[in-house]
Structure 1
């Protein structure tokens, strides 16, 4: 029977894998079909007429948030033998990221009410159009801010992984690089939005490579907990 460490590694890998599938579908498939940032009225009507599709995008984000919490806990268990307190700190940063993202997601949930057919909302009230687009922009801004915590999380996770004797050190280095990439890109979007740093995208694959290791080899590590 797999010990707790092995199970935690497998759960972590599966959780990250699910997230790799959910958010991209919402952000690159569903929402681009419905949202036109240059035309608030079209966006309003698209969401109103495709309520189920928009709701699917929201729930894909919700599934991702649940996976964030699960992965935070499972990686805490996986890396706890290396340093229990530091592992807990790392997990807390991912949970904070999930909470800030949840707060951002509430902006999209509010659109389900704004675009409903209830009597107290008039489709001829043009102010509703701008409110819908504003809510979407608020979501994007707040979600972007959440990645400050995610970047710090990955850096700390990389340090902890680097110190773990049962994990190849290269993954610790890759996670640190990925975290730095997220942190720099997020801060750039707030302080220097006109600066182009699309090349930082290449650094984001650190967690993805770590996921593959967790799924292929990580769940078979054998260590003895104190």
Structure 2
């Protein structure tokens, strides 16, 4: 399939935009979940968690704001991926976009739980068992997000399969995307449905965290640097 200059320009723009927003998303996720959420939430301790949220309300608000950035970035990336991957396989590119948008909708529901927690911590009126209520919503956020990440893993596997068909995208990146997708599915299926196997989950987390991190990050960097720049007679 011959790629015209106009199509190439569209490919380059979508690749660059998608890559930039992937990197923005990674940075926002590192702050929101890797730093803020882990600093504020004490697993299994509703009272300490609530005290942290009350005393560090600015940090909690910053976490929620970062999640909103991630939400918007996910929508943009879904669009950019579709434009970039459409010449390779239109139907699968559409499937990948829909999977990411479904994940984004689930993430929005999860974020709503954090907003409810913010309302609870901001309420000056005395409420019954407010700490337990806040912890319930925080747990709800985690479970809903974990379920969404199973779908996100499916999205990455579809993207990895599509990129594997390309002659311009490095096969190593495609492999990392496939591995990351499979890792997300395994890891978050365990976290959602098999929490009783704590030791097994800890082992899987240690093993799968690296491919989960490298998959989209490597693709994002490649998109920014090289995506859509190479003209070939076929993808």
TM-score where L is the length of structure 1: 0.91
| 1:12 shift after superposition | 0.8
SS in 1 for 2:167: coil
| 1:51 shift after superposition | 2.0
The more displaced of 194-203 and 60-69 is 194-203
- 1:182 corresponds in structure 2 to 184
User: Kindly tell me: are residues 223 and 91 of structure 1, through their superposed partners in 2, closer, same or farther at Cα, counting changes over 3 Å?
Assistant: farther
Aligned partner of 2:52 among 41, 46, 50: 46
> Could you list the runs of 5+ residues in structure 1 that have no partner in the other structure?
none
> Could you list the runs of 5+ residues in structure 2 that have no partner in the other structure?
1-5
Runs of 4+ in 1 over 6 A off after TM superposition: none
Counterparts of 1:109-148 in structure 2, within 5 Å, are 109-118=115-124, 121-122=125-126, 125-148=127-150
Number of residues of Structure 1 aligned to a counterpart in Structure 2: 221
SS in 1 for 2:169: coil
- 1:213 corresponds in structure 2 to 222
Q: CA RMSD in A?
A: 1.9
TM-score where L is the length of structure 2: 0.87
Matched, 1:59 2:65: yes
Aligned partner of 2:208 among 195, 200, 208: 200
The more displaced of 206-215 and 66-75 is 206-215
d(CA) in 2 for partners of 1:88 and 1:223?
Answer: 23
The more displaced of 38-47 and 54-63 is 38-47
Contact 1:79/1:164 (8 A) holds in 2? no
The more displaced of 147-156 and 158-167 is 158-167
d(CA) in 2 for partners of 1:70 and 1:150?
Answer: 15
- 2:113 corresponds in structure 1 to 107
Higher RCO structure (Cα 8 Å, ≥6 apart): 2
Contact 1:6/1:221 (8 A) holds in 2? no
- 1:166 corresponds in structure 2 to 168
Matched, 1:94 2:96: no
Contact 2:11/2:227 (8 A) holds in 1? no
The more displaced of 199-208 and 128-137 is 199-208
Contact 2:49/2:135 (8 A) holds in 1? yes
